[in-house]
Every structure is written in structure tokens, then in C-alpha cells.
Amino acid sequence: MISEKTTRTLSIFMEFLRRDLYVYTRQMRDHIINYSLVYPLLYIFCFAYLQTQIYFHGQTYIGAIVFTGTCLIPLMAMTFHITFDLLFDLEKNRHTDFQIMVLNPHLIIIEQILFSSLFTFAVMIPYFLLARIFASSCINLEHVSWPSLYVILYCGSLCISAYHKLAATILTVKKINMFWTRVNHILLVLGGFWIPLYTIQSFSPLLGFLLRLNPIVYFTEGLRQSIVGGTQFLPLSQCIGALLVLTIIFTALACYFFKKRVDHL
């Protein structure tokens, strides 16, 4: 039997989820235009169509490998946008103070990560569908495994949401630009935005080894495995496993730092 306390906690947890949904649904139109239409269509034109023709002389296989990673920018921007509202709140409105009075701080962080991952996933769903519609002649999308693509897309959204939430609990508003340049930019560009891990490994085995510590690599490798397939990419199970383990680590650390930041006792 579920105790009364657990039921109450669960109902508050669900209310907070509904509250987040209400708040972000009001901005939904902007997000859909930006992340489900503007980014995918522009990237399809630039990276799927022009890049494949000009850089790779129409090799649709390489075109697909390179284009796959480009969804990282809208995905990271979207999760950043949602998760960093906590940081702005901590430095200004302190709505969080009300939330921690009625729910355990750890559950607040888990709820926010869960919401961010679901919202980002929903907004990112059209990305590869649009590529399939508009770019199938310039990038090879014949071997796409759609179920595994969406599984890895959700796992990636979850892991990056947890990672950004952890950053939001540690950083201050003034350090956001620095965070993007010194951390996110490096993780993103060397995490397979364009270049797959096997190319980096052939260029420098040491760099390839170090990049195994980059969570983004597991996401892009998983995407490439689902879209292009082949032994040159990391196996899907390894990518999903790594993303879930990293999500747990980031969430635990985010809970710890959040509690430390809001609870002075």
C-alpha cells in the first residue's frame, strides 16, 4: 500500500510538472517555430544539401554522417533555455523558495530534469522527419531505424537536461557566456557535431580516448548508429547505457549542489 505521505508527495510532484507545462506551453509557439522549423530547415539546406555537395562531392553516406550531429545545437539550446530558468530564479525571483517548502529539493530537481527532457524531446521530434522529407536525395537516410533513433534522442535529451541542470545549480548568471565558450562549445564541436569519433580516433588516438569522457559523444554516436549504422560507430546499447549512467551521475550531483545552494542548514 502507498502511504498517504507518498501519495501527497506524488501529487505535488505532478502539480509541479503541470505548472511547468503551463508556463512553457505559453512559449510553445516560439519554441516550435525556432527549434522544430527554423533550425531544422536551415540546417538541412546548409549542412545536408550544400555541405554534402561542396565538401563531400555528393557522397550521401558522408553527408548523412555529418548532418546527424547537427541536431545537437537546437537540442542543447532548448535544454539550456529550460534548465537555466532555475539559475535566473535563484538569483532573482526565488520561486524555488516556495517549491522547497512543499517538496523535497531532490524531487524538485528530478521533476525539472524530467520535464525538460520530455519537452525537448517533443520539440526535437520533427528534426529528422523533416530531413527525411526534404533531404533524402542529398543524404542517405535509407537505413534509419526510427524506434532506436527516438530512444537515443530521448536518452540524449535526458542526459543533456541533467547536465545543464547540474551546471545551473553550480554557476552564476555572469558566467553563462564563459560556460558556453569554455565548456559547451568544446563538448559540442568535439562531441561529434560534425566529426564522428572514428575520424577523431584515426587523427589522434589519445584525443579519441579522452573524448570517451564527453557525454555528447555517446549521444551523437548513438544517433549515427541509428541513422547510418555500421561497426565504425559505438554500439547502441553502449551509448544508451552510458547516457543513462551519466544522467544518474549528473542528477545526483545536481541534487547535491542544489540542496547546498538553497538549504543553509
Partner 1 sequence: MNSFTQNISIFYALMTRDIKVLRQRLHDIIIDGLILVCVTVLVFGYLLPKLGMPTKLIGPIFLGNSLSFFLASLGYAFATRMVYDLKFDRFIEYFLTLPLPKRWLFVYFLSSFIIETSIVTLPLVTFGIVLLGDNFGPINGSFITFLFIYFLVLLFWALFFLGSSFTFSYQWFKNNMWARRLTPLFMLSPAFFTLKSITLIVPTCAKLMLLNPLTYLIEGLRSSLLGGNDYLPLTTCCIGITVTLVCMAIRLYHGFHQQLDPV
- Is residue 186 at the binding interface for partner 1, with CB under 8 A as the rule? yes
Q: What are phi and psi of 157, to 5 degrees?
A: -60, -40
Cα–Cα distance list, 50 to 43, 139, 195 (Å): 10, 11, 17
Please give the helix or strand (H or E) that residue 142 lies within, else none.
none
What are the residues whose beta carbons fall under 8 Å from the beta carbon of 48, sequence distance 6 or more? 63, 67, 131, 134, 135, 138, 139
Least distance (Å) from partner 1 to the CB of residue 48?
11
| Contact residue for partner 1 among 23, 42, 125, 129 (CB under 8 A) | 42
Site for partner 1 in 156-175 (CB under 8 A): none
Question: Which residue do the cell numbers 537515443 mark?
Answer: 152
Site for partner 1 in 47-66 (CB under 8 A): 49-51, 53-57, 59, 62, 65-66
Q: Residue 27 or 237: which CB sits closer to partner 1?
A: 27
Question: Which residue do the cell numbers 537516410 mark?
Answer: 141
- Is residue 189 at the binding interface for partner 1, with CB under 8 A as the rule? yes
Site for partner 1 in 73-112 (CB under 8 A): 77, 81
CA dihedral 170, 253, 158, 202 (to 10 degrees): 90
Chain residues in the site for partner 1 (CB under 8 A):
27, 30-31, 33-35, 38-39, 42-43, 45-46, 49-51, 53-57, 59, 62, 65-66, 77, 81, 177-178, 181-182, 185-186, 189-190, 194-195, 199-200, 202-203
